[in-house]
Amino acid sequence: MIRTNARVRICVGVKAVPEISFGDNVRVYRTPETEVLGVAGSVGQVYGYTTPSVTGVSVVGDSSGDYALNVHLQGREDTIWFAPQLLELVDHAPGTEISIGEVSLVRGADGNWVKASSKTPPLEDKPKRQWRFW
């Protein structure tokens, strides 16, 4: 039986395992499948997740849980979809910054996203550059 509570997946009778989500840094476990692909032990960042039965993506590992994580591994240009049990959480990538529209967020060490403090005034408050041509 699995119950999800915030950022920790709780498995009855099994050690609690942190849930991996968007932006997290992960390490690929060593398995025959990951060894063949040459990615065992590699570290990367989670770019997203999907339901393979809906999207039809090819997943490394057992996708019977119908959930996969997209990971960009260091030193590669492509991304790979992994079954979550093949990934180990390294950290929540503290300091990662994202912008959604006009809102900027920064990732904390605990995995939460918080609004970034503005280091520069908004564009409207900046003095406008005056151009003179004569």
pLDDT digits (tens, 9 = 90+) for 10-42: 444 444 445 899 999 999 999 999 999 999 999
Q: What is the pLDDT of residue 63?
A: 87
Within the chain, strands assigned E span 2-5, 8-11, 17-18, 25-28, 43-50, 59-60, 68-73, 79-82, 87-91, 97-100, 103-107, 113-115
Residues of the chain whose pLDDT is less than 70?
Answer: 1-18, 118-134
Q: Is residue 3 part of a domain?
A: no
pTM higher than the cut 0.85 = no
Q: Is residue 55 part of a domain?
A: yes
For 37, phi and psi rounded to 5 degrees?
Answer: -75, -15
Q: Is residue 111 part of a domain?
A: no
DSSP for 48-74, please give it.
Answer: EEE-HHHH---EES--TTS-EEEEEET
Find the domain containing 57 and state its range.
17-91
Q: What is the pLDDT of residue 18?
A: 59
Q: Is residue 65 part of a domain?
A: yes
Q: What is the pLDDT of residue 124?
A: 52
Q: What is the pLDDT of residue 118?
A: 55
Q: Is residue 80 part of a domain?
A: yes
CATH number at residue 66: 2.30.30
Q: Is residue 110 part of a domain?
A: no
Q: What is the pLDDT of residue 134?
A: 47
Q: Is residue 85 part of a domain?
A: yes
Q: What is the pLDDT of residue 21?
A: 92
Q: What is the pLDDT of residue 117?
A: 77
Q: Is residue 64 part of a domain?
A: yes
What is the number of structural domains in the chain?
Answer: 1
Q: Which of 34, 42, 40, 78 is nearest to 60 (CA)?
A: 34
Tokens 């990367």 sit at which residue? 44
